Amino acid sequence: MSKRELIDYICEINRGAKPEFLARFSEEDLNTYLEHLMELDLEELAVCS
């Protein structure tokens, strides 16, 4: 996944995230953060069910 795609996915999950801010980070850092967000999103869905 490209850096741009990572930023787009992060912004979909974390609507408060600014692409300009996220662009400062490496692809590896963004990927780690996206994985973290996805885990939190899944946990939230489990709690809401």
pLDDT digits (tens, 9 = 90+) for 8-39: 999 999 999 999 999 999 999 999 999 999 98
pLDDT surpasses 70 at 46: no
Domain boundaries, the chain: 3-48
CA dist 7 and 27 (Å) reads: 9
For position 44, what pLDDT does the model report?
67
pLDDT at 40: 85
Q: Is the pTM of this model over 0.85?
A: no
Q: Which of 31, 38, 46 is nearest to 14 (CA)?
A: 38
The b-or-e profile of 1-31 (16+ CB within 10 A means b, else e) is eeeeebbebbeeeeeeeeeeebeebeeeebb
